Amino acid sequence: MDVENGFTKDLLGKRVLLVELQPYHGLMLDPLTEALAKTGASVDLFTNHHHKKFQSLPPNTQRVMKWKTMRSRLIWFLSNRFPRFFSKYIQRRKYDVIVWSSLDRQSLRVARYITSPQLGIVHEWRNEFRTLPEVLDLVARPDCSIFSIGKHIKSPGIDSYFLPYHITGFDPTSRTRSQEMAVIGNYQQSRRDYELLFSIMKTLTEEPDIPKVSILAHSTSGDIQLGIDTVASMGLEDDIHFKYSDQLHSEVEYHETCAQSTFCLPLLDDERYESYRTTRVSGTLSKIFNCELIPIIDNETATSWGLDESIAIIYEKGELASTIKNIAQIPPAQIEAMQKKIRDTRLIDFEDSVANLTRSILDILSK
């Protein structure tokens, strides 16, 4: 790559539209704008109007333009109700390539009408999705490419991966950490095994030096009240506490809150979470790397995600309780070494992701 002042010239002069129609995948926006800016491209960023917390555009480039909230609200409405109209609007602006940070059923309604080169990033690659006619059409087009956000998603139709391992203005090494174990994501039993966590913490309440648990959920609404009531009924209020991401003001503050902990609990032991090891990506994975959290993770999930004992505390099925019990015995030097390895891995993986993105865009533009 031709590098100048931290940027390449590979896509210099190219106009890219980065689109996020979903209100849930804000973790993609900063790393993708940073990556595209690094290529020398001019980037227009269109986000769902719910992404009000997204503030961390790369500060060292003027090549990124974020559409204003009211304009985003209007176009988001049109993309849902009148996808063909939205596609014509995009085509008229003559972008060289469209990048969908969440290629899903909603974005496919628009993507199917666009004749410009497109690159879509999938967060789930289940059979019922990858066999949709709209997806098969994109896979067959030489000027389109499909990425995943996890190395473990590998199957025909996936060209490469982009790992969202970057947050502008956030340095996890600057945080003062407690020995807490963080559980990150919406409070839903379908997403991670909260019942297992609560039952284990109940058995360990009399043990000395057991780390506290911090559950960072979305808000106080919905299923979270069930968790609050369960914790109270089991007498675990001193051991498990809840934080809410909707009370935080930016993506940086969200990550700073995650980085107050030292460890992370994905809680994906049960077979019901098999899709997270094969066709889906948990947002926990990006927080592990971006916040330098040491995962306490079952062997099967660790193997799928490519995590080894240099950056993870790995346990066999049924051994989570004894593993948590022994956390306090880990030497500080070992914790520091594991965090450094996570940091080094994150930097390498993000640079690889930028290279993957650049190569793919150059390829589809050549068709």
85-120 residue pLDDT tens: 888 888 888 899 999 999 999 899 999 999 999 999
Provide the residue ranges of all domains of the chain, joining segments of one domain with +: 3-168+348-365, 172-346
Q: The tokens 């939205």 sit on which residue?
A: 86
- The residues, ordered by sequence, that sit 6+ positions from 239 with a Cβ below 8 Å of its Cβ are 201, 205, 210, 212, 213
* One fold for 3-168+348-365 and 172-346: yes
Q: Report H helices in 8-99.
A: 29-38, 69-81, 83-92
- The residues, ordered by sequence, that sit 6+ positions from 101 with a Cβ below 8 Å of its Cβ are 18, 19, 20, 25, 28, 29, 32, 121
Hey, is 42 helix, strand or coil?
A: strand
190-228 residue pLDDT tens: 899 999 999 999 999 989 999 999 999 877 766 888 899
CA 256 to chain centre: 15
CA 229 to chain centre: 29
Backbone angles phi, psi at 207, to 5 degrees: -80, 145
Structurally, what CATH architecture does the domain formed by 3-168+348-365 represent? Answer: 3-Layer(aba) Sandwich (3.40)
341-354 residue pLDDT tens: 999 999 999 999 99
Note the pTM of the prediction, 2 decimals. Answer: 0.91
Q: What is the CATH number of domain 172-346?
A: 3.40.50.2000
